[in-house]
Chain A
């Protein structure tokens, strides 16, 4: 019986690609940034409506946006984060997402 030799070619993957893939698996956070034109009541209503938060929590987050310039409103998987950002931007809120460090 002759021995069979298998060879496997491993393609080098740039570090940047690995980071990209990893960031898909890590949690992402959804942020709302302050916009002085948006009404405070409007921001509160949108947060309540999209995330189903209580009025108190939505108001706290709105005030955090207003006073600190930004607030993390949700953390979870990237796909859902994208959906939330889309919904927030559909209400003209200044929203974006980033991977949790």
Chain B
């Protein structure tokens, strides 16, 4: 995979292999926290700090208001980002290079924010659902296990995020 920054307000994911494209195609489903309480709690945490010196009722009242008014807004933002990214991925073109097929897409800078959100949602849910260590090096499992594939998926997402943060979003 090659990540390219263009000077005309666009960026590209180029020479995306079949495996990498498969992993990109999984962003939306990977970011779904359904059925994983830890991932749900992580994506939608309480607005009240655990150290807050508030009586139980006051904390509960803030949390209830948050769930009713703010939570849905945050959820909508997450969903919109995922949908935008899914459309981008579905619109990828296939390039033939010396007998190998690669996927590619050139996207406007305005999509970078949604990509960062979607990739980060997916990374957070993957880590909580599969109880992965923070660093891939901490894993003591076989490189053919499903867990290893999930770590690879998360690493690829992280690599794209690093590119977008440094090359596209930093000065916006």
Contact = CB atoms under 8 A, between A and B. Distances in A.
A96 B74 contact: no
Max chain A C-beta neighbours (<10 A), residue from B46, B52, B61, B161: B52
Interface in A14-33: 16, 19-20, 23, 31
B170 A16 contact: no
A96 B48 contact: yes
Given A16-B57, A82-B70, A99-B54, 9 more contacts: A20-B58, A36-B135, A38-B124, A41-B166, A42-B116, A49-B172, A94-B42, A96-B50, A98-B48
B70 A19 contact: no
Contacts of B15: none
Given A86-B70, A86-B74, A92-B120, A23 B45 contact: no
Interface of B: 42-55, 57-58, 61, 70, 73-74, 77, 116-117, 120-121, 123-124, 127, 134-135, 158, 161-162, 165-166, 169-170, 172
Contact of A37 (B53, B54, B123, B170): B123
Contacts of A36: 134-135
Nearest to B134: A36
Max chain A C-beta neighbours (<10 A), residue from B42, B58, B170: B58
24 contacts: A16-B55, A19-B55, A20-B55, A20-B61, A35-B42, A35-B124, A36-B134, A37-B123, A37-B124, A38-B124, A42-B161, A86-B47, A86-B73, A89-B47, A90-B74, A91-B117, A92-B117, A94-B42, A95-B47, A97-B49, A98-B49, A98-B51, A98-B52, A99-B53
Interface of A: 16, 19-20, 23, 31, 35-39, 41-42, 45, 49, 82, 85-86, 89-92, 94-99, 101
Given A98-B53, A99-B53, A19 B58 contact: yes
A96 B48 CA distance: 5
A45 B169 contact: yes
B74 A39 contact: no
A41 B166 CA distance: 8
B7 to A, nearest CB: 21
Contact of A99 (B52, B57, B74): B52
B58 A89 contact: no
A41 B55 contact: no
Contacts of A38: 120, 124
A97 B48 contact: yes
Contact of A41 (B61, B117, B134, B162): B162
